[in-house]
Amino acid sequence: MSNIPNIFRLKAAIQEYDWGKPGNSSLVAKYAPTSVGKDYKVDENKCYAEIWMGTHPKGTASLWDEPQVSLRGLVMSSSGSFIGDQLVTSTQTHQAKFANSTEVPFLFKILSIGKALPLQAHPDKKLGESLNDADPAQFVDANHKPEIAVALNDGFRGFVGFREPQLIARDLQNVPEVRELINDDSLLEEFSKELDRGSLKVILTKLLQLDPNYVSHSIAKLVSRLERQGPSAIVGNEEAASSIKLLNNQYPGDIGVIVVPFFMNLISLNRGEAIYIGADEAHAYLEGNIVECMAVSDNVLNAAFVPPETRNLSTFLSALTYTSRSPSYYTLPASPYSRSEMGKTVAFDPPLEEFTVLWTRLTGSPSTGSGPSPISVQKRLDEEYEGKEVLCAVDGPTIGIVTMGKVSIEEQSAKRESVELEEGGIVFVKPGSGLVIQVIGEDNAEIWWSTCVE
């Protein structure tokens, strides 16, 4: 579609979930005027959880100036223009990564987490296809959903993957309320001895399928003991005590209050730190603000912290690999971005073909006098350098969101099309478009991007 510029502003979709932060305390609500529109009304009694930037049918973005025109519709009308011919068109000598696709290959998000998300896992491609075939109303796409999360500020916490088996076995043996729930000493002894995935699956299955009233009674006893004895009530895993009390306040009597702290790794992230979670990995984010990106899918298998009738227990339990890993396994380090000419951008590059997440940081230019001295001229040149980034073109689509400050973004063609964005503003960049990003004003600026590199 030749009438659409090479770069253009997007209007995102906002998702309201119970686990989001309420009202204007949510980063999602803070960004709403510039990510969705100035007429967006924030209700202090609602929870604002996610900003979606992509083409997923449950929340497609649209053109900022023409919101009746969806990004999904544009991509479907001309996938080569918006996803990239290299990515969607195969030839005799080239196999396209996303042959004949009419979707932006990633779903880019901002999350503002006020309480624990459901204990969940995402299916791999094979399972995603079978779930979509069997129940397209619940599983609206047939894709997998590996994802990364990057903390926007300090203080993100989340539970990810199974802890080392010896740590799980120790806690199951040491906490009488959990032993009571499992009610099978021989099974616990076998797991403590063998530390095998088979026994772990049997124990987890038994716990997740228990009668909710029985579970609630045991949790009440455990919480009461924690109130009396403090964190030392759980020998060797004192940090579990605070998690148990917090989760029970949020989801009273839910089996996740037991399963999550005792079976899973608690991971904390500071600003700019990231984790990667593959398909079939259990996780439950707890609190914080993050950038999240995933293969374009909304398939999820829930096992706790949701109403019993919405849980997918049998599929969740069969999908997991029951592989125990240390927290460091999930860390995704940043590295210099090879297509950055000014060195102001780093990349978070998971082992996927769908996306790479980028983080651009620019320094603002303080107001100074206009004296003619060579020193002040050089200072101004240095400040301009620090406030500017040049990103070389890629063969796939790019979506960016400004999370700090104000910037101008100009594409490097003869047209020199540009947009100016403030905090929360979102831009779509067509394949093959190089960019010049310049900070506007005295404040520092940050932009997060998701891109697909051939």
pLDDT tens profile 340-388: 999 999 999 999 999 999 999 999 987 544 555 554 545 554 555 689 9
Buried b (16+ CB within 10 A) or exposed e, 124-153: beebbbebbeeeeeebebbbbbbbbbbbbe
Residue whose pair of structure tokens reads 């009674």 in the numeric block: 217
pLDDT at 382: 57
Q: Which two tokens stand for residue 139?
A: 């599983």
CA 63 – CA 74 distance, rounded (Å):
10
Q: Which residue would you say has higher pLDDT here, 210 or 98?
A: 210
Q: DSSP per residue over 360-427, as a string?
A: EEE-----------HHHHHHHHHHHHHTEEEE---SS-EEEEEEESEEEEEE-STT--EEEEETT-EE
pLDDT at 400: 99
Residue 1 pLDDT more than 50?
no
What domains sit in the chain, N to C, each tagged with a CATH number?
12-78+104-160+268-330 (2.60.120.10), 335-451 (2.60.120.10)
Q: Which residue would you say has higher pLDDT here, 137 or 421?
A: 421
Longest dimension (CA), the chain: 84
When computed from its CA atoms, the radius of gyration of the chain, rounded to whole angstroms, is 24
pLDDT tens profile 395-448: 999 999 999 999 999 998 778 899 999 999 999 999 999 999 999 999 999 999
Region 179-200 average pLDDT:
96
Q: Which residue would you say has higher pLDDT here, 430 or 94?
A: 430
Q: Which residue would you say has higher pLDDT here, 331 or 235?
A: 331
CB–CB of 411/417 below 8 Å? Answer: yes
Q: How far is CA 126 from CA 1, 164, 320, 425, in A?
A: 34, 28, 14, 36
Q: Give the annotated binding-site residues for Zn(2+).
A: 120, 122, 147, 283
Q: Tell me what the pLDDT averaged over the chain comes to.
A: 92
- Taken in order 175, 216, 200, 306, is the CA torsion positive or negative? negative
Q: How far is CA 143 from CA 102, 136, 287, in A?
A: 13, 12, 27
pLDDT tens profile 279-300: 889 999 999 999 999 998 878 8
CA 237 – CA 259 distance, rounded (Å):
14
Q: How far is CA 420 from CA 289, 361, 405, in A?
A: 24, 16, 11
CA 371 – CA 119 distance, rounded (Å):
61
Buried b (16+ CB within 10 A) or exposed e, 77-113: eebebbbbbbbbeeeeeeebbbeeebbbbbbbbbbbb
Region 37-50 average pLDDT:
97
Q: Give the annotated binding-site residues.
A: 120, 122, 147, 283
pLDDT at 435: 98
pLDDT at 454: 66
pLDDT at 369: 46
Q: Whole-model pTM?
A: 0.93
Share of the chain above pLDDT 70, in %: 94
Q: Helix 165-174 crosses helix 256-263 at what angle (to 10 degrees)?
A: 130
Residue 395 CA, distance from chain mean position: 24
pLDDT at 126: 81
Query: Residue 94: which pLDDT band, with cuts at 50, 70 and 90?
Result: confident
pLDDT at 221: 97
CB–CB of 389/24 below 8 Å? Answer: no
Region 131-160 average pLDDT:
85
Residue 194 pLDDT more than 80?
yes
Share of the chain above pLDDT 90, in %: 81
286: closest CA among 161, 160, 164?
160
Residue 278 pLDDT more than 70?
yes
HSE toward the beta carbon, residue 415, CA cutoff 13 A:
13
